[in-house]
Amino acid sequence: MFSSLEKPLPKENLKELAKLKLKEALIESKLALEYLEKGIVRNAAGKAFQAWKALISALIASNFNKLSKDLDEEQRKWLREKGILALTTKLKYLSQMLEEKTGLNGISFGTDKALDLHDYQYNGPDPDLVYSKYADPEEAKEDVKLLIKALLEYIERYKDLLDEEGAKVLEEVEGSLES
């Protein structure tokens, strides 16, 4: 299952890239939930963030024509070469673009939560709320679950891109969230 993620990204084939990134999003979500079960909240937060980044990448690849419409050649080239990788520093911009041009409402809010979890991964709980927006690991744990639930809602819209393996991981993640 994981071996497909260790191959070079098929950047020239946007449909294949979207498929791979959706599967990556699910695998990272599964790992995040496994870490939560073991009480490893900071690593779970990092995996949830990675899952969201992979989702954003998949959505960009799937909606490239809508997103690139009205862009000049330089902007289109950037989106095709770098934007489809959902760079952390451009996640807000890319999420806003997805929301505006594709009608995928709520993507920006999910990105904000993912970035908060990214901070938590590096800084841990912070009672003073200076370095992290989470004073307690339980708060971060709840947001990991909420982010994964939101991620699954978007994946539902694109699940026809999942292969058999990806569909199996989707079922596993849904099952883990329910328990």
**Closest C-alpha among 123, 60, 48 to residue 93:** 60
Q: What is the DSSP letter of 136?
A: S
Predicted model pTM: 0.95
For the chain, how many structural domains are there in total? 1
CA distance 113 to 109: 6
Whether residue 146 is contained in a domain is answered as: yes
Distances (CA, A) of 172 to 1, 67, 175: 13, 32, 5
Whether residue 4 is contained in a domain is answered as: no
Q: In this structure, what token pair is assigned to residue 42?
A: 């900071």
CB 15 within 8 A of CB 161: yes
Distances (CA, A) of 30 to 10, 17, 25, 169, 175: 23, 20, 9, 7, 10
Q: In this structure, what token pair is assigned to residue 69?
A: 């419409």
Largest separation between any pair of C-alpha atoms in the chain: 48
pLDDT at 80: 96
Whether residue 2 is contained in a domain is answered as: no
Whether residue 47 is contained in a domain is answered as: yes
What's the CATH number where 169 sits? 1.20.120.330
Q: What is the mean pLDDT of each run of 10 residues along the chain (179 residues)?
A: 72 93 97 97 98 98 97 97 96 98 96 98 94 96 98 96 94 92
Whether residue 55 is contained in a domain is answered as: yes
CA distance 134 to 45: 11
Whether residue 21 is contained in a domain is answered as: yes
Whether residue 131 is contained in a domain is answered as: yes
pLDDT at 135: 96
Where do the DSSP E strands lie in 4-90? none
The domain of 117 spans 12-178
Whether residue 124 is contained in a domain is answered as: yes
**Closest C-alpha among 61, 13, 76 to residue 158:** 61
